[in-house]
A and B are shown apart, each in its own frame.
Chain A
């Protein structure tokens, strides 16, 4: 079946602009996660959605970052007033309800000039 998909695959933006990154999870997966990987770093947790529960936003690095999940499926990560330190690969993952194993999308490489 189809895996997790993300768009765009690459995004180049100017400092100060807003960007939106999209994630389509695996069908039937109610849990959705966003992570990012900065150059030379491991993956850093950003935010977690589980069904209709309030999201866990504890990993968001600043209030410029926000995320939505509409209809329990597609999610959008928004970064406002981008900064150069936001440059990273943003990865989305999904899992079965309360599943332990997360399946990752290919990521969006964000470059802020």
Chain B
């Protein structure tokens, strides 16, 4: 049972344009959501997070939007840069889950072309 899904395995955008990565979840007990970026042969790097009491969180070029009714979140990167090329994972945790154990999506490979 995949509780967090990233339906797009890959996304390609031009440098300077907007990248939009999407994530859907099924567990209504999730109340905290995170995005991680992963380069090959490295561990995931925390990017940005959002609590379920908010619908938007912004940090520089990165904005995460949360639509609780649709159980959907998205990560916007504006403007996209070639160095943003990586695998992006969304993750979720909730009060019902052990501690803050994270449930991850399958990841989306973002490629930003110069």
Contacts and interface: CB of A to CB of B under 8 A. Distances in A.
Size class of the B contact interface (CB-based, 8 Å): 20 to 34
B98 A58 contact: yes
Nearest to B98: A56
Contacts of B4: 42
B102 interface: yes
Contacts of A35: 102, 104
B101 A48 contact: yes
The SS class assigned to the A binding surface is strand
A103 B41 CA distance: 16
A56 B100 CA distance: 11
A100 B101 contact: no
B106 A100 contact: no
B32 A41 contact: no
Contacts of A45: 101-103
B99 interface: yes
Interface of B: 4, 32, 34, 36, 41-46, 49, 89, 91, 93, 98-107
16 contacts: A31-B99, A33-B99, A35-B104, A42-B4, A43-B104, A45-B103, A48-B99, A48-B101, A95-B100, A98-B100, A100-B100, A101-B46, A103-B46, A104-B44, A104-B45, A106-B41
